[in-house]
Amino acid sequence: MTANTTTETPTFLAACRSEPTSHTPVWIMRQAGRYLPEYRAIRKTVDFLTLTKTPELAAEVTLQPTRRFALDAAILFSDIMTPVEGMGVSLDFSPGPVVTNPIRDAARIEELRVPNPEESVPFVLETVRAVVGALPKDVPLIGFAGAPFTLFCYLVEGRGSKTFSTAKSFLFAEPEASHQLLEKLADTMALYLGAQAAAGARALMIFDSWAGLLGPEQYRRFALPAVARVIEALKPLDVPLIYFPNQGATLLEDVATVDVDVVGVDWRLPLSKVRSLLGSRISVQGNLDPAALFAPPDELKSQIDSVLAEAGGQPGHVFNLGHGIERTTNPDAVALLVDYVHERTER
């Protein structure tokens, strides 16, 4: 289902560029992960951190869902904090990443490096090469990184949080230092993503998981310029760029000002409204509620139909969930989803 009959370009990449395709491509955020028994089997033998740092295993895990489902793209298995260690930030895992010494002053920010990814994360680039070598030619690999503001949240807060109130307060209390940290993160992520593309990733996605914690004014002041800096640096590569401002319904008019190819959106705003806010230049990716995968098959199909109807068809729609798949999801529901999206959109 993944070949695009109208051009030589893989369907997923054509849709990213708003070109006509033979069907609506589909992939699933966190498609390589805990809902798959074959993933859990590997995780029984190795901890998460080791998995992300062992190319052979990370590549295997990246490939697993592409063997089981007719997915139109693969996405690198890694963690958004992986490239941050090379900046000079030490992390513990307990079980999620915890910054040993959270960053809360200008002196610490000054000390942070912008590392060369070939030196700081060679294992990630080796994983990319291994995956690209193993994937069918019409299934591109998506490389990814965290957006500067989202990484800022973790570095300042020190750990995951519902509100990231320490990080957000830092924006208000120390705007200059905040800008400096965001710029260093932007430069580091631009190099990191560029290296993934050089290693063979054919699209690049920037996850702004915590963008939705900001009101529009703070978003325009801090998060948006930082992600725009990443995008500007990557634009010459001519690889489709996907930006996912999670819970960003109120930010989309601002998002439309950056030069990305695709904007990923959560399930909170129907895609017809998303499209009207983003304009016709930008493709949309999303946005089925991950909870819909727990519905009986007929209801799941009805929910998928609803997303497809809101998207208004090709060109310019990549089907996905509106957030990462839940670990308790039945893989059979994913198979149904992938096949049904293909069946309903084939032409």
Q: Using an 8 Å Cβ cutoff, are 222 and 205 in contact?
A: no
Contact residues for a copy of itself, defined by CB under 8 A: 162-163, 165-166, 168-173, 212, 214-218, 247, 249-250, 267-270, 289-292, 294-296, 299-300, 303, 306, 322-323, 326, 328
Active site annotation includes 105: no
Q: What is the distance between the alpha carbons of residues 176 and 194, in angstroms, rounded to a whole number?
A: 27
Angle between helix 224-234 and helix 175-198 axes, rounded to 10 deg = 30
Active site annotation includes 347: no
CB closer to a copy of itself out of 257 and 328? 328
CB closer to a copy of itself out of 54 and 250? 250
Assigned token pair, 52: 């992300």
CB closer to a copy of itself out of 6 and 169? 169
Among the listed residues 35, 39, 72, 79, the single catalytic one is 79
Q: Using an 8 Å Cβ cutoff, are 190 and 230 in contact?
A: yes
Active site annotation includes 275: no
Active site annotation includes 79: yes
To a copy of itself, the closest distance from the beta carbon of 105 in angstroms equals: 15
Among the listed residues 17, 43, 68, 220, the single catalytic one is 43
CB closer to a copy of itself out of 120 and 287? 287
CB closer to a copy of itself out of 74 and 293? 293
Q: Kind of pairing, strands 97-99 and 91-93?
A: antiparallel
Assigned token pair, 290: 């991950």
Assigned token pair, 218: 């703070």
Among the listed residues 35, 72, 104, 154, the single catalytic one is 154
Beta strands, E only, 119-194: 141-146
Q: What is the distance between the alpha carbons of residues 57 and 73, in angstroms, rounded to a whole number?
A: 19
Q: What is the distance between the alpha carbons of residues 315 and 317, in angstroms, rounded to a whole number?
A: 6
Active site annotation includes 43: yes
CB closer to a copy of itself out of 54 and 306? 306
Helix (H, G, I), strand (E, B) or coil at 14: helix
To a copy of itself, the closest distance from the beta carbon of 76 in angstroms equals: 23
To a copy of itself, the closest distance from the beta carbon of 288 in angstroms equals: 9
Q: Where does residue 301 rank: exposed (0-12), middle (13-18), buried (19+ CB within 10 A)?
A: middle
To a copy of itself, the closest distance from the beta carbon of 341 in angstroms equals: 18
To a copy of itself, the closest distance from the beta carbon of 296 in angstroms equals: 7
To a copy of itself, the closest distance from the beta carbon of 166 in angstroms equals: 8
Q: What is the distance between the alpha carbons of residues 121 and 126, in angstroms, rounded to a whole number?
A: 9
Q: Which residues participate in catalysis according to the annotation?
A: 30, 34, 43, 79, 154
